[in-house]
Amino acid sequence: MNLKKYLVRALHRLQKGPGYTYKELLVWYCDNTNTHGPKRIIKEGPKKKLIWFFLTLLFASLVFWQWGILINTYLSYNVTSSLSIGFKTMKFPAVTVCNANPFKYSEVKPLLKELDRLIEAALERILQPGNSSDDVSPPLDLELWNQIPLVLIDEHDKDNPIILDIFETNHTAVGSETAMGNRTGASNGTMDNETTAPPAPDLPSLCPQCSHQGSDNCTYRNFSSAAQAVTEWYILQSTSILSKVPLHDRIRMGYQAEDMILACLYGAEPCNYKNFTQIYHPDHGNCYIFNWGMDEEALNSSNPGAEFGLKLILDISQQDYIPYLSSAAGARLMLHQQKSFPFLKDQGIYAMAGTETSIGVLVDELERMGYPYSDCTMNGSDVPVRNLYSQYNTSYSIQACLRSCFQNHMVEICGCGHYMFPLPEGVNYCNNEDYPGWAYCYSSLRSSIKQRQICIDSCKETCNDTQYKMTISMADWPSEASEDWIFHILSYERDMSTNVTLDRNGIIKLNIYFQEYNYRTISESAATTIVWLLSSLGGQFGFWMGGSVLCLIEFGEIIIDSLWITVINVISWCKGL
Amino acid sequence: VQKKITARLKRTLPVRGPQAPTLSELMRWYCLNTNTHGCRRIVVSRGRLRRLLWILLTLSAVGLILWQCAELLMNYYSASVSVTVQFQNLPFPAVTICNINPYKYSAMKEYLSELDKETKKALETFYGFSEGKSKVRRSVDDWNSTGSDFFQQIPLLKVEDFSRTATDLRSGQKRRIEGSVFHKDSSIVNSADSNDIIGFQLCDANNSSECALYTFSSGVNAIQEWYKLHYMNIMAQIPLETKEKLSYSADDLILTCFFDGLSCDKRHFTRFHHPLHGNCYTFNSGENGTILSTSTGGSEYGLHVVLYIDEADYNPFLVTSTGAKIIVHDQNEYPFIEDIGTEIETAAATSIGMHFTRSRKLSKPYSDCTETGADIPVGNLYNKSYSLQICLHSCFQKAMVDSCGCAQYAQPLPAGAEYCNYKKNPNWMYCYYRLHEKFVKEQLGCQQICKDACSFKEWALTTSIAQWPSTVSEDWMLRVLSWDKGQKLNKKLNKTDLANLMVFYKDLNERFISENPANTLVILLSNFGGQLGLWMSCSVVCVIEIVEVFFIDSLSIVLRRQWQKAKKWWSQRQRGGAGKAPQAGDVERQGHDNPVCIDEDLPTFTTALRLPLPQDSPLPRTPPPNYSTLRLETAFTEQLPDTLELGQH
């Protein structure tokens, strides 16, 4: 019934026409709207009317312009940071300690015997080129040598550098600079053959070189110093040899916790090597992590100062270092967050033997907001790189991502994994026998800018960035007066022997503790929220025109009404036809 | 007809508006028609108390608005800080490496032999020290024969006590100290130890009675300072090219170099001559236009150099420590190696992990910093971008040239000046010390003139040391490095002559700390709007209204009144008789107030829609409903004549 009544009324209205005009509607609107301004237009005299009309127009456009700015500001998702500094009870950082040398030389000697003889002979030839005594009793294993030979490049003549293999007497004169590694058309066509060496200086002696399968596809890696060349060469060769050794053997060959960690004290509580978690680190062999928080709760420290920190005495037994592998001696240590993998080459520091190293720690935290405020990742799940370090059960970090990215590329291109990084499933580590071209492949991949850029682009930093700012100071330890008894006790405790088995060159004392202010936290908060946006929009509208949301609704109503008038007019015009 | 037209015109003209004849009427009109809340209440309210209350409320709202807006204005120039971390390829900074000893001692012999001889003599007299055990203490007479004027220029004195007598080293004569005594080591004089105080005297050459005695608590400092003064004198006379030759070459200093996994050599280093440290070498100085960058963090990918520190060739008096000094800086920055360098030990591997932070402050009016240094009245003597340090040094040098007439050796030369030496400027040392004293005490005004730079880059360094070479690798390492050093050096290197240095990025996260304006104009206006709206529902329109009503209209009314009064007075004087009193304007209604238009049932918008008027009505069409009709003005008029006193006859 109601509907019918309504329809009849509507029909009647359509027949009768609107009954008021656009002008009346507009005047009525201006008079009754809550926005300031329009009312003025109709209330004032003719001259002022005009002024008010333009003023209202101006203010309306101002409002819209400023609204645009505000919405833009909101959509740019700015953040403000707040800084707090002070002392609070905090989780003591995880402390990773390693020896700078990965394996005990006494253990790996059988494996590296050939290599060492080779390098000794090579050094002999480099240093004393004249008296090359070929009376080496067991012949050298030149197969190892031929995979990656060390050469001398004589560049006195820029265009015709003379390449001299150290173990060969004949000088190979290479036709031109371009021939140096650019003999393309090799059997293995996948390789890019770039001359990776920087323009060689006019120094007489430059060195080794990664060759690939026969000598067709070669690049020479130039070094300005023989010391570096020898070290790099040795690392490549030993990497290849050691990568064939199974992991548990490698762990056995490294330093054991009970040999390395002689004394441990956390706050007032004694601790020992059993409190450390063992982890195998490719660079440094066995590393031991204190307070990693993997199995048990992380320890808290609620007092600043050395008395309440971690005190360690380490033995690095420098006599057992591999002579050609690592020339720096000391302990490598790193402070990091619980459940994160220690990247010692990046963030680690050295502790010198025969000294006491005190490290005051300030935890520098940066807490950021995730998407859309900044492009960071909370746990790495949205990063398109397979995290190989997840096999250690560690959290995502940018270093882990970059290394995983590199290893994935390496596996893809070279077919085998690099020894320094974890392996994806079903892939083997590179070695010279099975993958003869790996060294070349690796060095070209490593120096490829493109590859690095891909990894940088695909990896994201974590939103919560924690750094441990260290204040490092050193003193001689043990003092001359206390040396005797300290060595005596430590030797006794370790080896149950009355003889002193330690010396200054191997012993390190470490103190790690919180500073008086132990945290500095920068946390982000959104500078613009939706509430901020609404109040600013309201402020603008109110400031220029005294309007509110209701005014907008009023305006909308008027538009609907005028449309209605149009509809009615159109219909009556149609009827009139 | 004319009359009729004017009457109609008059009728259509609003009389109650700004053209209202009296101020109170204008106010009433304003209050009834304004868009601000509050004011209307005053007029509409019944009862005196209530009206008073509304007046108070309105006034306090106005006060609040003014206060809050002032607060907003004052906080306008505040900055908020944002920290962004960006992971990216980082440009590797310039790394400047110097030997601590500036010049090869063997090469400097011809310049310094006299001075060294004198220094040794001084040591012998004061402390009985002599290098050779067999040397017999020489007598005082012996020295005079050497004919050196080092002691004449600046006599070294042993201050007996504070009876103001001192023993001259050279003559052995006691002399009274005149002038002021400066203690370089501490400002508090410890009179108990005064017996052992040693110092030197600087006199104003033009006025020999003006002398200053500089004393030191330790002879080590005194001798070094004294030596340094003479040394600077000597060095100031040697031309730059010669000095560069006397110092270490890149081949001398850098034994091996490795960057980002690739070999590098001396061509990657730029020489830079530092007045106090001799030849320094800057890696990645960006001089050839390219700045190296690293795309991987970690010690393997940074700069790795082995330095050769020839300890045997050190100057025994000038420097007393061995090693190298390095500084990590931006390519545009001047390396102030003497101020902020890091020392590198020999026989050790120093690993320096860097963390990069970039900061940006807002310049005026947010804070008092300078963007480029162009607005600082001190000329930049260094050929590098502005920094506070550069400004302070330049400022001091300028003051030095102005007051002493010559330039200090440790800083660059301003145009047209030359370095001080006592052949030409016998007075400079006294002048320098005086000036330096003033500079330290902030009396030169340099600290006030110089502002800090708005943006700066900082590399936070984490330095750690390991033993190098390790005992087992020492043998072959030293042999190979000796071979690297070249054939000219046949002896095997000593490990204390070598320093291993690694400089690398710990991570490639760049922290960028920037200040942003907390307020923009848009936000300020929004806040104004919010305040105005909250307290009074006011807007700019209201402000314009207020200006219009309270200033323009009231003024015009007052003026009109005065004009009419004056006219009336004039006409009275003219005619001597009273004119017709001005008619209080007939309140004619127009528009919606026109009684003809007022329907008895006050049509609203919806009634208007529902009831279309007959087409041929003689009356004007029903106007759209009127805001003022909702006021129920008529109802109140009868009841409350005191609140609504519309001028009706």
pLDDT tens digit sequence for A417-472: 888 888 888 888 888 778 877 877 887 888 788 888 888 888 888 888 888 999 99
Using a CB–CB cutoff of 8 Å, tell me whether A22 touches chain B: no
The CATH 2.60.470.10 domain(s) of chain B lie at 90-101+249-363+455-514
Q: Which of A32-46, B262-276, B454-468, B605-619 has the lowest mean pLDDT?
A: B605-619
Over residues B425-454, the mean pLDDT reads: 85
Question: Please, which residues have CB within 8 angstroms of residue B290's CB and are 6 or more apart in sequence?
Answer: none
Q: How far apart are CA A99 and CA A96, in angstroms?
A: 10
pLDDT at A167: 65
Fold for the domain defined by B370-451:
Helix Hairpins (1.10.287)
Chain B residues inside the 8 Å CB shell of A46: none
Among the partner-chain residues B300, B470, B520, the one whose CB lies closest to the CB of A326 is: B470
Best of A5, A20, A512 to disrupt the B interface (most B CBs within 10 Å) is A20
Among the partner-chain residues B83, B462, B465, the one whose CB lies closest to the CB of A366 is: B83
Using a CB–CB cutoff of 8 Å, tell me whether A61 touches chain B: no
Q: What is the DSSP string of A287-318?
A: EEEES--SSSPPPEE-S-SGGGSEEEEEE--G
C-alpha neighbours within 13 Å on the C-beta side of residue B349: 26
Chain A residues inside the 8 Å CB shell of B625: 28, 32
Q: Where are the alpha helices (DSSP H) in A194-294?
A: 226-242, 247-253, 257-260
Q: Where are the beta strands (DSSP E) in B236-395?
A: 254-259, 262-263, 269-274, 278-283, 293-294, 303-308, 324-329, 342-344, 348-360
Return residues 288-327 of A near B (CB < 8 Å): 318-319, 321-324, 326-327
* Helix, strand, coil percent content, chain B, rounded in steps of 5: 40, 20, 40
Considering only alpha carbons, which residue of chain B is nearest residue A127? B483
The CB-based long-range contact list for A451-454 (8 Å cut-off, 24+ gap) reads A451/A406, A451/A409, A452/B89, A452/B295, A452/B296, A453/B89, A453/B295, A454/A405, A454/A409
pLDDT at B311: 85
A447 and A411 in contact (C-beta within 8 Å)? no
- Name the token pair of B19: 């053209």
| pLDDT above 70 coverage of chain A, percent | 84
* Between residues B617 and B67, the one the model is more confident about: B67
Using a CB–CB cutoff of 8 Å, tell me whether A16 touches chain B: yes
- For residue B225, what pLDDT band results from cuts at 50, 70 and 90? confident
- CB–CB of A350 and B349 under 8 A? yes
Return residues 520-539 of A near B (CB < 8 Å): 522, 524, 527, 535-539
- For residue B443, what pLDDT band results from cuts at 50, 70 and 90? confident
Q: Which of A135-149, A177-191, B184-198 has the lowest mean pLDDT?
A: A177-191
pLDDT at A447: 77
Q: What is the pLDDT of residues B15-67, one digit of tens each?
A: 444 555 677 888 888 888 777 777 877 888 788 888 888 889 889 988 998 99
Among the partner-chain residues A24, A324, A538, the one whose CB lies closest to the CB of B623 is: A24
Residue A219 pairs in a beta bridge with: A210
Fold for the domain defined by B90-101+249-363+455-514:
Acid-sensing ion channels like fold (2.60.470)
Statement: residue B489 has pLDDT above 80? no
Overall residue count recorded for chain B in this entry: 649
pLDDT at B281: 93
- CB–CB of B464 and A321 under 8 A? no
Statement: residue B290 has pLDDT above 80? yes
Q: What is the DSSP string of B163-174?
A: TTEEEETTT--E
Statement: residue A95 has pLDDT above 90? yes
Best of B467, B483, B543 to disrupt the A interface (most A CBs within 10 Å) is B467
- CB–CB of A329 and B467 under 8 A? yes
Q: How far lies B364's CA from each of A50, B77, B375, in Å?
A: 42, 9, 12
Q: How far apart are CA A60 and CA A54, in angstroms?
A: 10
Q: What is the pLDDT of residues A181-202, one digit of tens each?
A: 332 222 222 222 223 333 333 3
Q: How far apart are CA A416 and CA A434, in angstroms?
A: 9
Q: How far lies B167's CA from each of A374, B19, B50, B158, B175, in Å?
A: 72, 101, 96, 5, 6
Chain B residues inside the 8 Å CB shell of A81: 80-83
pLDDT at A350: 92
Q: How far apart are CA B445 and CA B438, in angstroms?
A: 9
Backbone φ and ψ for B607, nearest 5 degrees, come out as -65, -35
Q: How far apart are CA B254 and CA A224, in angstroms?
A: 11
- Name the token pair of A180: 């140096």
Q: Which amino acid is at B318?
A: L
Q: How far lies A556's CA from each of A34, A197, A547, in Å?
A: 13, 73, 14
Helix B23-33 crosses helix B554-575 at what angle (to 10 degrees)? 150
Statement: residue B94 has pLDDT above 90? yes
pLDDT at A179: 32
Q: How far apart are CA A223 and CA A139, in angstroms?
A: 28
* Helix, strand, coil percent content, chain A, rounded in steps of 5: 40, 20, 40
Using a CB–CB cutoff of 8 Å, tell me whether A223 touches chain B: yes
Q: What is the mean pLDDT of chain B?
A: 76
Q: Which of A7-11, A339-343, B70-74, B414-418 has the lowest mean pLDDT?
A: A7-11
Domains of chain A, first to last: 1-78+530-575 (no CATH), 84-96+259-280+300-315+353-525 (1.10.287.820)
- CB–CB of A36 and B621 under 8 A? no
Among the partner-chain residues B256, B470, B544, the one whose CB lies closest to the CB of A328 is: B470
- CB–CB of B529 and A228 under 8 A? no
- For residue B641, what pLDDT band results from cuts at 50, 70 and 90? very low
- For residue A162, what pLDDT band results from cuts at 50, 70 and 90? low
Q: How far lies B44's CA from each of A33, B32, B543, in Å?
A: 21, 8, 22
Q: How far apart are CA B278 and CA B427, in angstroms?
A: 26
- For residue B174, what pLDDT band results from cuts at 50, 70 and 90? low
For chain B, give me the number of helices (H) and strands (E)?
Answer: 20, 20
Q: Which amino acid is at A265?
A: L
What string of H, E and C letters represents the secondary structure of A320-344? Answer: HCCCCCCCCECEEEEEECCCCCCCH
Among the partner-chain residues B89, B592, B624, the one whose CB lies closest to the CB of A25 is: B624
- For residue B622, what pLDDT band results from cuts at 50, 70 and 90? very low
- Name the token pair of B28: 């009433």
Statement: residue A545 has pLDDT above 90? no
- CB–CB of A398 and B507 under 8 A? yes
Residue A359 pairs in a beta bridge with: A472, A512
Q: What is the mean pLDDT of chain A?
A: 80
Best of A78, A103, A239, A350 to disrupt the B interface (most B CBs within 10 Å) is A350
Q: What is the DSSP string of B18-38?
A: TT-SSHHHHHHHHHHH-SSTT
Residue B166 pairs in a beta bridge with: B159, B175
- Name the token pair of A417: 């994994």
- Name the token pair of A210: 């990664």
Considering only alpha carbons, which residue of chain A is nearest residue B481? A227
pLDDT at A437: 77
**Which sign, positive or negative, has the C-alpha torsion B139, B141, B147, B150?**
positive
Question: Please, which residues have CB within 8 angstroms of residue B230's CB and are 6 or more apart in sequence?
Answer: B115, B150, B153, B154
pLDDT at A17: 55
- CB–CB of A40 and B541 under 8 A? yes
- For residue A97, what pLDDT band results from cuts at 50, 70 and 90? very high
Helix A226-242 crosses helix A105-127 at what angle (to 10 degrees)? 140
Q: What is the pLDDT of residues B546-561, one digit of tens each?
A: 888 888 888 888 888 8
pLDDT at B353: 92
Q: Which of A520-534, B13-27, B585-599 has the lowest mean pLDDT?
A: B585-599
Q: Which of A36-40, A266-270, A329-333, B442-446 has the lowest mean pLDDT?
A: A36-40
B280 and B335 in contact (C-beta within 8 Å)? yes
Question: Which of the listed ranges A113-127, B1-15, B161-175 does the model predict with the highest average pLDDT?
Answer: A113-127
Over residues A469-479, the mean pLDDT reads: 90
B419 and B234 in contact (C-beta within 8 Å)? no
pLDDT at B150: 65
The CATH 1.10.287 domain(s) of chain B lie at 370-451
Statement: residue A361 has pLDDT above 90? yes
Q: Say what the ipTM of the complex is.
A: 0.82
- For residue A332, what pLDDT band results from cuts at 50, 70 and 90? very high
